[in-house]
Amino acid sequence: MNELKGKVALVTGANGGIGLETAIGLAKRGATVVLAVRNPDKGLAAQKTVIERTGSKRIELLTLDLASLTSVRTAAAEFLERHDRLDLLINNAGVMLSSHQLTDDGFEATFGVNHLGHFLLTNLLLDRLIATGSARIINVSSAGHALTRGLKFDDLLYTRRRYNGVVAYCESKLANVLFTTELARRLSHTDVVTHSLHPGVVRTRLARDGDGGWLGNTLSAIGGPFLISPERGAATTLHVATSDKAGKTTGKYWSKSRIKRARLPKSEAKDAARLWEVSAELVGLEATAKAA
């Protein structure tokens, strides 16, 4: 199982859960895997786990705090200095928060981490992905994207609305899908493909690692008997990262390792383009991927 030998993969949120299992799966397939993590101590523990479970020595750490645009820029610059190629960018990290919190830059934290941080990271690494050729960008979303009727462009960051953790999470997951839609359009003149996916309802510390609030405990108590393991949750990500079919298509939404139809508003294309422009302005991005 060495189909990824010589390739470089970067996985955000790789210190536990789906991200860790994704990193292990990629390492088993021969890839050099960069674990992008917020907490260095947890990162070291994850690195040790990946090495022990795969026997690979090509496991690196990269400090990345998606709640800080400065950290995102620093991490991107460090990666570009280390590697002359990037074959797989897996935007996996995510939070679900029961209370309203802000990122270092003043953004509502769920949207800031789940979408804006990954939006900036992806754009900063785009040139390297394009230069590598046949690269893939995978955005881990959720079936929760279908539980919202659309993005509230007049208040994306909850400066006026009453905060609701579940709604904020679902909106951020819709943003992941719309980001994929627009990214695929803008990269249509290249051989880089991008996909979003639903990993399943996975037993992870997604909510509890956010703020330890009632939301994660409640979801775990209610859904516990029906949750799948992180290893099973990583299966769709690994399929999209390695399958021939995923390499020959772009802009698709996957679930259970199959292409599914995402439940998106009729204004999908318009909303995707608008989200891109708003996001670029929020993160201070001067140069974005050019439309074909």
Res 201: pLDDT? 67
Would you say residue 2 lies in a domain? no
Would you say residue 37 lies in a domain? yes
Res 2: pLDDT? 77
Would you say residue 71 lies in a domain? yes
Q: Consecutive sets of 10 residues in the chain, 292 residues long: mean pLDDT of each?
A: 91 95 97 98 98 97 98 98 98 94 98 98 98 97 89 96 94 97 97 94 50 45 53 90 97 96 88 97 73 42
Q: How much is the pTM?
A: 0.91
Domain count along the chain = 1
Residue 101, domain extent: 8-283
Res 227: pLDDT? 63
Would you say residue 291 lies in a domain? no
Categorise residue 51: left if φ over 0, alpha if ψ from -120 to 50, beta otherwise.
alpha
Would you say residue 289 lies in a domain? no
| Helix, strand, coil in percent for the chain, rounding step 5 | 50, 15, 35
- Contact of 257 with 25, CB cutoff 8 Å: no
Pull the structure tokens for residue 55. 């026997």
SS3 273: helix
Would you say residue 187 lies in a domain? yes
Res 130: pLDDT? 98
**pLDDT tens profile 164-195:** 999 999 999 999 999 999 999 999 999 999 99
Would you say residue 172 lies in a domain? yes
- Contact of 228 with 200, CB cutoff 8 Å: yes
Domain at 100, CATH number: 3.40.50.720
169 is catalytic: yes
Would you say residue 290 lies in a domain? no
Catalytic residue among 158, 163, 169, 253: 169
